[in-house]
Each structure stands twice: as structure tokens, then as C-alpha cells.
A and B are shown apart, each in its own frame.
Chain A
Amino acid sequence: SQKIEQNSEALNIQEGKTATLTCNYTNYSPAYLQWYRQDPGRGPVFLLLIRENEKEKRKERLKVTFDTTLKQSLFHITASQPADSATYLCALDPSGTYKYIFGTGTRLKVLA
């Protein structure tokens, strides 16, 4: 069956360290993969999009990698801050259209 897996357990890291979140998928060949941030009681907020022919994408302290052979995306936050604490969702588009499938999200907590 098709599925997207993200770390189901919360990730706690110390302020200043790099947080690495994982998104694994099976039985998809997505053309695009997106990462979103979601705070409690709010809708997701778009962070980054990476295309299948891109290995890496950066935006300020954020970095996303996309390995279509391993069927995996990694999301890194460098120099993490307590304000980075949130749930991070990966989403992929299985058919190159508008329809994204979301993972369950990983809750990140950055400790001061």
C-alpha cells in the first residue's frame, strides 16, 4: 500500500543544535515534495518545496534533501531555537497534479 512515514514520536533537541526530521515514502514516485510547519490550533504554513530533480534546497536555516532512490526526504533546521518548536509535515504529490498526500507529522521541541 502507499504510505508516508514520519517520526511518530516527538523529537526533543537542545537549542543551537541541528534538528533532522525524516520523511519516508513507499510506492510513490512524486514529482514534488513539500514541507509545512503547523502550530497548535493553526493551519499548516508552507516552508519549502523540492522537485524530484533537485537533491537539496535551502532557505535561511532550513535545508531539505530529496533522495528518490531511497524514497526519503530529510528536513534540517540548523541553529535551532525554541521558536522552532512545532509539528512539521511533509507532503508529496503522487501524480504531478494538485493533490498532495500529507504525512502524520513530527512534533519538534527545542529546549532552551
Chain B
Amino acid sequence: GAGVSQSPRYKVAKRGQDVALRCDPISGHVSLFWYQQALGQGPEFLTYFQNEAQLDKSGLPSDRFFAERPEGSVSTLKIQRTQQEDSAVYLCASSPGAGAADEQFFGPGTRLTVL
């Protein structure tokens, strides 16, 4: 079966533009995570969905970042008025359950470059 997919794979935006990053999780997976990964660093947690409910958005860096998963499957991470410090790889992951013992299946990421 298909794994987690993300689109676009690469995005270049001018400072101040809005961007939308899409994640298609594995079908039937309850949990969905968004992470930000800077070069040479590990993924940093942004937000967590359990089905359509956004249970945790404590990692979102500012109110310019917004995520949704309206039907409990596909998710979109939106960044408004992009800044250069937003440049990073944005990773999406899904897992079948909602517990800490579930492995996370990651997508390939979207590399965002803000000029």
C-alpha cells in the first residue's frame, strides 16, 4: 500500500507570500503529526491531530501557522506571510493508533525556501 505522501516536494516562496503544504496520510491512520526540520537538526513537533480533532498545537511557532484536517484524513499546513526563518523541511507523519507506543510513518517532506 501507499505510504505517507506530501506535496509539493519543494516550494520556493517570496517573503510575505502564503503557502499551503499538503499531507496524505496512510488510509485509516488515526494520528497525524506535523514537524519542522531545520538543516542538521532533528524533527521538531508542530501539531497533532487525532482524526479531525487538533489536540495539540503547542509547537506552532506563531499565529502565522495554521493546520487543519477537516475530514480526518488529508491535512494541510498553511503558513501566512512567510518569513525567511520559516525555511525548513516540513514533515508529516501518521500512525495507526493514538498511543505513545505507535510507530510513526513519515512522508518525504516538503522543503520550503523563503527568499
- From B11-19, B66-74, B80-88, B99-107, the one touching the partner chain is B99-107
In this complex, how many residues of chain A approach chain B with their Cβ under 8 Å: the count is: 26
Q: 1/0 contact trace for A27-69 toward B, CB 8 Å? A: 0000110101000011111100101000000000000000000
**In the bound complex, what is the Cα–Cα distance between A87 and B33 (angstroms)?**
21
B76 within 8 A of A: no
Nearest to B33 among chain A residues (CB) is A98
Asked whether B40 is an interface residue with its Cβ less than 8 Å from the other chain, the reply is yes
Docked complex Cα distance between A4 and B50 (Å): 26
State whether the Cβ of A78 lies closer than 8 Å to any Cβ in chain B: no
Asked if A100 contacts B45 (CB within 8 A), the reply is yes
Q: Is the CB of A34 within 8 A of B42?
A: no
Measured as residues with beta carbon below 8 angstroms from the partner, the interface class of chain B is 20 to 34
B4 beta carbon closer than 8 Å to chain A: yes
A44 lies within 8 A of B106 (CB) = yes
Contact check, A43 vs B100: say whether CB atoms are below 8 A apart. Answer: no
Asked whether A104 lies within 8 Å of B105 as measured between CB atoms, the reply is no
Residue of A nearest to B30 (CB): A98
Question: Does the CB pair A99–B56 fall under 8 Å?
Answer: yes
Return 18 A-B CB contacts under 8 Å, by A number. Answer: A32-B100, A36-B106, A42-B108, A42-B109, A43-B4, A43-B108, A46-B103, A46-B105, A97-B100, A98-B33, A98-B50, A98-B100, A100-B45, A101-B45, A102-B42, A104-B41, A104-B42, A105-B42
